[in-house]
């Protein structure tokens, strides 16, 4: 039987546990995550807000912790039910988070009733009342404006030429066609002002002797982008444009190696879908496809079945497949897995016929694709890969 002393000990333990439970429930953890894809991981990013924990609006006191891959984060403990407001800065209100016109955002705010993670993507920063745009085109480019396409809107084409192109008038070059071409080399035309840096990457690798020189053709997208890049009538028209209008134009204008073994195409997201479709359906034109964060099988999209259902001889193709691991990348992963399974059932070997790159910490964004460009170009154009 329990003594009075045992009973009192148990009673106080219960009281302590109840008090601890109330204490825990009266506070919540708020985690602020900032994704700034055009900032180096060494950049200091600060938070300033309407409380002591966030330095009472001092813009340069509370620094967020960099987690790599352009992600900054910090957690705070607040009383439950509290309303917090904050801004993100680079250490000064003269250089705070802004919209695409350079106008600073209004205060971010939330009422915290539960443990919460507030995520934001910041692409622009106020700086002396001007929009800060990073980067420029490296190397020589030429433009073909308003190239006509039967049944589709006209579009611009940008052509990046390798170092030495003008000096060596006899040399001919392999060609890489890239969809969403306004994103590949020029931050001023790229979505969110973040480009894929193919120009800097290719230029440096060519000069270092790590890859063979190549021509890169960027095909600008149009307002019909999704219809052109995903299965359907417009997609068929787009493929016809690339094969029968654009490629002849490029081969006639520049010193290309026109054969399929020297011709590749690539893209990201829906652009990766059309890149695969072009190569799979036309291996006599494109022997290579670069598929970054591809929509292979998701919602109403399914091009995996095209591979599973194919019963002919093995096509002479090489495919690079890349996918991240955060957000939309997670939703795309089942389709990536299904495509890899389909390719392997048709006799394609990893690291021989296809290459798979996975970055579980990467998001669905231009900066993540730019990071992969050195590896991708070496896989297809490395000196030891030349035919």
Confidence of residue 6 (pLDDT cuts 50, 70, 90): low
CB 176 within 8 A of CB 266: yes
- Nearest-angstrom CA–CA distance, 60 and 7: 55
Instruction: Name the CATH superfamily, with its identifier, for domain 28-131.
Output: Immunoglobulins (2.60.40.10)
Instruction: Taking residues 268-285, report their average pLDDT.
Output: 98
pLDDT, residue 127, reads 67
- pLDDT of 23 over the 90 cut: no
pLDDT, residue 232, reads 95
Q: Helix, strand, or coil here: 32?
A: strand
pLDDT, residue 126, reads 79
Instruction: Taking residues 149-156, report their average pLDDT.
Output: 96
- pLDDT of 24 over the 80 cut: no
- Nearest-angstrom CA–CA distance, 362 and 21: 38
Instruction: Taking residues 272-292, report their average pLDDT.
Output: 98
* Domain residue ranges of the chain, discontinuous segments joined by +: 28-131, 140-385
- Nearest-angstrom CA–CA distance, 93 and 126: 8
pLDDT, residue 2, reads 52
* DSSP element (H, E) containing 201: helix 198-207
Confidence of residue 198 (pLDDT cuts 50, 70, 90): very high
pLDDT, residue 25, reads 62
This model's pTM is above 0.85? no
pLDDT, residue 12, reads 47
Q: Helix, strand, or coil here: 237?
A: helix
- pLDDT of 15 over the 50 cut: no
Share of the chain above pLDDT 90, in %: 71
Instruction: Taking residues 39-46, report their average pLDDT.
Output: 93
Over the chain, what is the mean pLDDT?
89
By the 10 Å C-beta count (0-12 exposed, 13-18 middle, 19+ buried), 116 is classed as middle
Instruction: Name the CATH superfamily, with its identifier, for domain 140-385.
Output: Alpha/Beta hydrolase fold, catalytic domain (3.40.50.1820)
pLDDT, residue 123, reads 87
Those residues whose C-beta lies under 8 Å from the C-beta of residue 95, and which sit 6 or more positions away, are 89, 125, 126, 127
When mean pLDDT is compared across 170-179, 301-310, 362-371, the lowest value belongs to 362-371
As a dihedral over the C-alpha atoms of residue 178, residue 179, residue 185, residue 191, rounded to 10 degrees, the angle is -160
Share of the chain above pLDDT 70, in %: 90
- pLDDT of 3 over the 80 cut: no
CB 216 within 8 A of CB 198: yes
pLDDT, residue 354, reads 98
- Alpha-carbon distance values, 371 to 40, 70, 357 (Å): 12, 11, 12
Q: Helix, strand, or coil here: 235?
A: helix
When mean pLDDT is compared across 107-116, 219-228, 285-294, the lowest value belongs to 107-116
Determine how β-strand 46-49 pairs with β-strand 82-89: antiparallel
Confidence of residue 104 (pLDDT cuts 50, 70, 90): confident
When mean pLDDT is compared across 101-105, 139-143, 355-359, the lowest value belongs to 101-105
Quick one: CA dihedral 243, 247, 249, 252, positive or negative?
negative
DSSP codes joined into one string, 95-132:
GBEE-TTSPBPPPEEEEESS-EEEEEE--EEEETTEE-
- pLDDT of 129 over the 60 cut: no
Instruction: Taking residues 123-151, report their average pLDDT.
Output: 79
Fold equal for 28-131 and 140-385: no
As a dihedral over the C-alpha atoms of residue 6, residue 11, residue 16, residue 18, rounded to 10 degrees, the angle is 140
- Alpha-carbon distance values, 61 to 55, 84, 90 (Å): 6, 17, 11
pLDDT in tens, 303-317: 999 999 999 999 999
- pLDDT of 13 over the 80 cut: no
């Amino acid at each position: 039987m329990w003594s009075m002393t045992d009973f009192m000990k148990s009673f106080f333990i219960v009281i302590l546990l109840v008090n601890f439970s109330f204490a825990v429930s009266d506070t919540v953890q708020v985690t602020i995550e900032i994704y700034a894809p055009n900032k180096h991981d060494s950049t200091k990013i600060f938070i300033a807000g309407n409380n002591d924990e966030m330095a009472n609006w001092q813009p340069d006191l509370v620094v967020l912790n960099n987690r790599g891959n352009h992600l900054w984060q910090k957690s705070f403990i607040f009383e439950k039910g509290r309303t917090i407001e904050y801004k993100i800065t680079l250490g000064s209100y003269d250089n705070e988070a802004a919209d695409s016109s350079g106008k600073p955002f209004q205060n971010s705010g939330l009422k915290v009733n539960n443990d919460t993670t507030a995520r934001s993507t910041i692409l622009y920063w106020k700086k002396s009342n001007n929009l800060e745009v990073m980067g420029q085109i490296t190397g020589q480019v030429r433009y073909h404006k308003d190239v006509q396409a039967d049944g589709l809107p006209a579009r611009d084409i940008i052509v990046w030429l390798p170092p030495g192109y003008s000096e060596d008038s006899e040399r001919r070059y392999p060609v890489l066609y890239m969809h969403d071409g306004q994103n590949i080399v020029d931050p001023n035309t790229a979505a969110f002002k973040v480009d894929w840096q193919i120009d800097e990457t290719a230029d440096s690798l060519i000069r270092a002797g790590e890859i063979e020189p190549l021509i890169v053709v960027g095909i600008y997208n149009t307002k019909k982008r999704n219809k052109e890049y995903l299965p359907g009538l417009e997609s068929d028209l787009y493929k016809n444009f690339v094969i029968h209008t654009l490629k002849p134009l490029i081969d006639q204008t520049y010193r290309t190696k026109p054969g399929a073994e020297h011709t590749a195409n690539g893209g990201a997201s829906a652009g990766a879908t059309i890149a695969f479709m072009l190569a799979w359906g036309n291996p006599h034109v494109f022997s290579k496809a670069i598929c970054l964060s591809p929509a292979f099988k998701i919602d109403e999209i399914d091009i995996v079945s095209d591979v599973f259902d194919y019963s002919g001889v093995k096509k002479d193709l090489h495919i690079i497949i890349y996918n991240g691991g955060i957000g939309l990348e997670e939703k795309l992963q089942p389709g990536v897995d299904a495509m890899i399974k389909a390719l392997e059932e048709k006799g394609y070997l990893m690291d021989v016929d296809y290459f798979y790159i996975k970055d579980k910490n990467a998001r669905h964004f231009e900066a993540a694709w730019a990071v992969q460009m050195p590896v991708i170009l070496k896989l297809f154009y490395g000196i030891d890969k030349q035919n």
